[in-house]
Chains A and B, each alone.
Chain A
């Protein structure tokens, strides 16, 4: 509670236009505290990158946004609606929350029994979008992430980079207001990583709001407006990428960056 840094001061967007607001968030698993009084804000059109060691709580923090994990304490607000407060889900429509928040997983988690295009269509149909419209949007999105030529392939016939790009198209299909990326390139080889990062770069240029957990520090430096270093379940340091990554104020951040070989 006495951490020296608060994120709100550094985020340049006005607090009223935050797509995601997290306040005083705590979460433990089996008595082990993985998130401890975390504050985080993602302004509209902003890209916030969460960095830190594995097991430090980054992924849990991100999963609290669409309530794949339910926090024990604190407040989660998405698109102006408080969805979780004081350990209780207060969101009236969980399905709608999850359509507002798109998510891309480390291991893709494409539906293996469906073709690429069907993967992008499924949730749209369940959300009540008419068949033809859903298909057209799916094809347009696959084109946007440069995998339209593989639209009729099964996931197992796709390379890792192609699968992750289909997963991004799937996450975009419901026109989310914010995209969550959970280490999207950690299962990929360098070539596939480049493909996926270039798609994410384009999304960033288009003004997509993103919350990104990543080990790709150069990428975080390049696209993020705001970098948050999480360690031991707490936000140790947060700020502009050039500050956090190049001139960290905290020893812990310096140690972490040193272990990454300063990653530039």
Chain B
């Protein structure tokens, strides 16, 4: 047992600590930048797809279908090697993020589209009847409900995106997987190195997905997450308590 363990773990990990931390940092940077970009682009594509103008819908539909039906790796090669050969030389971070953004935006746009169109038409009418404008209805009525609907799918995509950053090893993006490959070529300990790299990915993804599940549950239960909503609820509670001593069910809107 001891022999096996000592046989398995022979890489001098302490020598690689700072390199690994850099690589971890790079993986997280790719994830955060790409995810933010993909959410924004995905929302824009979803809105185009729900537009009244058919050319806008067509552009959005073509975009979604194209990027959903080619492999991420092909997109990575296209944006790093392909564009470079056509004279547009992107650095590896830009090319990597661009690939992840356009790929995941296609999936997210589908999630957002169904979430937005899933909000009942009566909600828009209720907003109109209250004199809310188009922007007010979208931002205060449609979007919050759509977010609630879209959260589970979006969260799955975030974790998936984090794992997909490992594909950037093919363009030596200096993230975790690339670092693993470097250590392997220096030590020839592929099993040990890739087990450790896998464990790091797991240590990132598992808590992240659990955290997102918790967030989903809180949002679904209507827990006020923003500070101004909390302030409003606190003020309402005070008013209700002071005013006439109306007993308020406290268990509501908490988890």
B partners with A: yes
Chain A positions near chain B (C-beta within 8 angstroms): 66, 68, 94-99, 101-103, 105, 107, 109-115, 117-118, 121-123, 126-127, 131-132, 135-136, 138-139, 143, 148-154, 157, 170-171, 174
Contacts of B240 in A (CB 8 A): 139, 148, 151-152
The interface centre, meaning the residue of B129, B249, B252 with most chain A CB atoms within 10 A of its CB, is: B129
Give Cα A170 to B246, complex, Å: 20
Determine whether the beta carbon of B122 is less than 8 Å from that of A139: no
- Are the C-beta atoms of B130 and A122 separated by less than 8 Å? yes
Contact B247 A157 (CB under 8 A): no
- The one of A111, A112, A126, A132 that contacts B131, using a Cβ cutoff of 8 Å: A126
C-alpha gap A154/B222 in the complex (Å)? 7
- B248 within 8 Å of A (CB atoms): yes
Among A131, A136, A143, A151, chain B packs the most CB atoms within 10 A around the CB of: A151
Docked Cα-Cα span, A94 to B253, in Å, equals 34
Q: Are B248 and A174 within 8 A (Cβ)?
A: no
Assess whether B128 is in contact with A139, with CB atoms less than 8 Å apart: no
Query: A135 contacts which of B129, B130, B236, B250 (Cβ < 8 Å)?
Result: B236
**A-contacting 9-mer, from B3-11, B53-61, B76-84, B139-147:** B139-147
Does the CB pair B244–A143 fall under 8 Å? yes
Closest to B237 in A: A152
A109 contacts B120, CB within 8 Å?
Answer: yes
Across the A-B interface, the 9 shortest Cβ-Cβ residue pairs: A123-B130, A98-B131, A109-B126, A103-B129, A109-B122, A95-B131, A99-B131, A154-B222, A113-B144
Whether the pair A151, B126 counts as a contact (CB closer than 8 A) is: no
Complex Cα–Cα for A205 and B223 (A): 38
Instruction: Evaluate contact between A152 and B246: CB separation under 8 angstroms.
Output: no
Among residues of A, the one whose C-beta sits closest to the C-beta of B250 is A152
Q: Is B189 an interface residue (CB 8 A)?
A: no
The minimal Cβ–Cβ distance linking B68 to chain A, given in whole angstroms, is 29
Contact across chains for A174 and B122 when beta carbons are under 8 A apart = no
Which residue of the partner chain B has the closest CB to A104?
A: B129
Tell which of B122, B125, B131, B233 has the most Cβ of chain A within 10 Å. B131
Complex: chain A residue closest to B132, CB-CB: A126
Quick one: which of A96, A103, A118, A127 contacts B232, CB cutoff 8 A?
A118
In the assembled complex, the Cα of A117 lies from the Cα of B47 at a distance in Å of 30
With both beta carbons as reference points, the residue of chain A lying nearest to B236 in the complex is identified as A117
Q: A113-B145, A115-B222, A149-B247 are in contact. Are A174 and B130 (CB under 8 A)?
A: yes
A112 vs B253: C-alpha distance in the bound complex, in angstroms?
A: 12
Extra contacts besides A99-B131, A118-B229, A149-B248 (12): CB < 8 Å = A99-B130, A102-B129, A109-B122, A109-B126, A113-B144, A113-B145, A114-B144, A115-B222, A115-B252, A135-B235, A152-B236, A152-B250
Residues in B whose Cβ lies below 8 Å from that of A102: 129
Of listed B229, B232, B246, B253, residue having the most chain A CB within 10 A: B232
**What are 28 pairs between A and B in contact, CB < 8 Å?**
A68-B128, A94-B131, A96-B131, A99-B130, A102-B129, A103-B129, A105-B125, A111-B123, A111-B126, A111-B140, A113-B144, A114-B222, A115-B252, A117-B233, A117-B236, A118-B236, A122-B132, A126-B132, A126-B136, A135-B236, A143-B244, A148-B244, A149-B248, A151-B240, A152-B249, A152-B253, A153-B252, A153-B253
B89 an interface residue at 8 Å Cβ cutoff?
no
Complex Cα distance, B246 from A143, in Å, reads 9
Q: Which residue of B lies closest to A151 (CB)?
A: B240
Alpha-carbon gap, A98 to B136, bound state (A): 14
Residues of A close to B131: CB separation below 8 A: 94-99, 123, 126-127, 174
- Confirm or deny: B21 has a beta carbon within 8 angstroms of a beta carbon on chain A: no
Q: Name B's interface SS.
A: helix
- Inside 8 A of B232's CB, which chain A residues have their CB? 118, 121, 131, 135
B239 within 8 A of A: yes
Interface centre among B126, B128, B130, B253 (most CB of A within 10 A): B130
CA distance A6 to B232 in the complex (A): 50
Interface flags for B154-187 (1: CB within 8 Å of A; 0: not) read: 0000000000000000000000000000000000
Residues of A within 8 A of B15 (CB): none
Is B125 a contact of A123 with CB atoms below 8 Å?
A: no
Q: Which residue on chain B has the smallest CB distance to residue A106? A: B122
Do B239 and A105 touch across chains, with their CB atoms under 8 A apart?
no
- Using Cβ atoms and an 8 Å threshold, which residues of chain A touch B122? 105, 107, 109
Instruction: Tell me whether A139 and B243 are in contact (CB under 8 A).
Output: yes
Contact call A149/B246, Cβ cutoff below 8 A: yes
A157: chain B residues within 8 A (beta carbon): 252
For chain B, residues 82 to 103, give those with C-beta under 8 angstroms from any C-beta of chain A. none
Q: Is B133 an interface residue when CB atoms closer than 8 A count as contact?
A: yes
A96 CB contacts on chain B under 8 angstroms: 131
